[in-house]
């Protein structure tokens, strides 16, 4: 199951709004195949793994297309309940039954109402043994964006800012100012590829003209969002020429309204990059799940103070020096 989770993580940022899923097939005590969900709209993890069982198997990471044989008596490990409905692809539960798998071991039940126990039920009705809740907490941690979106009906929220060694976000003079080191900046851009949306306030947008793209890291760009409560930003004058996504400009007055709007647009996660007032509003609302701080070796002496680190679960606070 640990291998399933390891495989599943390879889809981060590429399968949204689907969950991260990995699959390992074991027969006679040996791993005979494995796979993961690689891209939204393509084969799910179980299908990739089951269709890979053959003498001429494609390498891990390649998409399997044709029937690769059977798995009579095998045990299939997967970190999320196999789907039982038709979506972009056929039901994985049907293929598991067809291939002769005798046992399925799983981390988590799927909270999606389209599945919600239907996958397990279909397998058990076909005579397949189902073992549930193996490494359950680890599975929820991996798919924390998916579970938050499904269970709380809001996106998973990450608050992120850069601060100087003496605790300031920006100097006294308004305008763009980069505190992050080159290594921190690249990490920040990797983080952007992992989330569905990136949000800033209108003041940050007007003062800094941020591109809001992962231009220093290869990966999908998040949906740019500007919280513009005073109607100061004109969508026709958006400055992000390199971003293929149209900006989403929200006039919502409260954080719950913002998150509801993002939920309605099926944006499963959002990384909030500022400014200070927007970050404070999220902290005061309590509607956030992680805090990430890039702490620069630079000192400013004075300027705009960084937010106070809120009291959150310790493993949800990341500080990068």
DSSP notation for 39-108: STTS--HHHHHHTT-STTPPPBTBPP-S-----TT-EEEEEEPPP-S-SSS--HHHHHHHTT--EEEEEE
> Which structural domains are found in the chain, ordered by start?
2-145 (3.40.140.10), 153-320 (3.40.430.10)
Is 62 assigned a catalytic role? no
> Is residue 246 within 8 Å of residue 212, measured between CB atoms?
no
Quote the CA–CA distance of 223 and 243 in Å, as a whole number.
9
Quote the CA–CA distance of 124 and 146 in Å, as a whole number.
25
Q: What is the pLDDT of residue 314?
A: 63
Q: Choosing from 46, 194, 203, 273, which is the catalytic residue?
A: 46
Q: What is the pLDDT of residue 204?
A: 84
Both tokens assigned to 115? 């599945």
Counted residue by residue, the chain has a size of: 321
DSSP secondary structure string for all residues of 159-170: EEEEE-TTSEEE
Q: What is the pLDDT of residue 58?
A: 46
Q: What is the pLDDT of residue 68?
A: 42
Q: What is the pLDDT of residue 64?
A: 44
Exposed e or buried b per residue across 233-269, where buried means at least 16 C-beta atoms within 10 angstroms of its C-beta? beeeebebeebeeebbbbeeeebeebbebbeeeebbb
Residues forming beta bridges with residue 36, ordered by sequence position: 22
> Is residue 83 within 8 Å of residue 75, measured between CB atoms?
no
Q: What is the pLDDT of residue 54?
A: 60
Both tokens assigned to 253? 């007055």
Q: What is the pLDDT of residue 311?
A: 74
Q: What is the pLDDT of residue 270?
A: 98
Both tokens assigned to 70? 């059977």
Quote the CA–CA distance of 51 and 62 in Å, as a whole number.
11
- Mean pLDDT of successive 10-residue segments in the chain (321 residues)? 97 93 94 94 92 60 48 94 81 92 96 86 95 97 97 96 92 78 92 96 83 85 92 64 72 95 97 93 94 93 90 81 91
- Surface-to-core class of residue 182, CB atoms within 10 Å of its CB (0-12 exposed, 13-18 middle, 19+ buried): exposed
Residues forming beta bridges with residue 168, ordered by sequence position: 305
In three-state secondary structure terms, 156 is strand
Measured between alpha carbons, how far is residue 120 from residues 29, 134, 263 in Å? 23, 14, 28
Q: What is the pLDDT of residue 215?
A: 85
Q: What is the pLDDT of residue 165?
A: 94
Q: What is the pLDDT of residue 63?
A: 46
Residue 111 has, within 13 A of its CA and on its CB side, a CA count of: 14
Quote the CA–CA distance of 251 and 263 in Å, as a whole number.
15
Kindly give the pairing relationship between strand 156-163 and strand 290-295: parallel
Quote the CA–CA distance of 108 and 87 in Å, as a whole number.
20
Continuous segment of H or E residues that includes residue 23: strand 22-27
Measure CA of the first residue to CA of the last residue in the chain; give whole Å: 33
Q: What is the pLDDT of residue 243?
A: 47
């Amino acid at each position: 199951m640990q291998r399933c989770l390891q495989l599943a993580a390879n889809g981060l940022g590429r399968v949204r709004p689907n969950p991260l899923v990995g699959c390992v097939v074991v027969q006679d005590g040996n791993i005979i195949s494995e796979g993961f969900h690689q891209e939204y709209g393509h084969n799910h993890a179980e299908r990739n793994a089951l269709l890979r069982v053959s003498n001429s198997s494609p390498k891990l990471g390649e998409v399997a297309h044709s029937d690769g044989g059977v798995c009579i008596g095998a045990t299939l490990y997967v970190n999320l309940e196999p789907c039982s409905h038709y979506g972009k692809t056929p039901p994985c539960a049907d293929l598991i039954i067809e291939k002769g798998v005798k046992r399925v071991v799983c981390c988590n039940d799927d909270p999606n109402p389209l599945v919600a126990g239907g996958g397990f039920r279909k397998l058990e009705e076909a005579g397949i043994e189902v073992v549930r809740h193996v490494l359950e907490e680890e599975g929820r941690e991996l798919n924390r964006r998916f579970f938050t979106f499904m269970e709380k009906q809001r996106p998973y929220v990450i608050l992120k800012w850069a601060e100087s060694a003496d605790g300031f976000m920006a100097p006294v003079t308004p305008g763009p100012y980069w505190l992050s080191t080159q290594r921190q900046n690249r990490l920040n851009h990797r983080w952007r590829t992992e989330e569905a949306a990136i949000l800033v306030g209108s003041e940050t947008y007007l003062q800094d003209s941020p591109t809001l793209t992962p231009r220093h890291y290869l990966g999908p760009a998040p949906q740019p969002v500007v919280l513009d409560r005073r109607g100061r930003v004109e969508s026709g004058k958006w400055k992000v020429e390199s971003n293929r996504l149209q900006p989403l400009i929200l006039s919502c007055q409260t954080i719950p309204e913002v998150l509801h709007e993002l939920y309605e647009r099926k944006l499963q996660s959002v990384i909030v990059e500022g400014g200070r007032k927007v970050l404070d509003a999220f902290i005061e609302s309590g509607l956030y799940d992680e805090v990430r701080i890039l702490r620069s070796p630079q000192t400013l002496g004075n300027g705009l103070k960084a937010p106070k680190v809120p009291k959150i679960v310790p493993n949800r606070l990341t500080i990068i020096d």
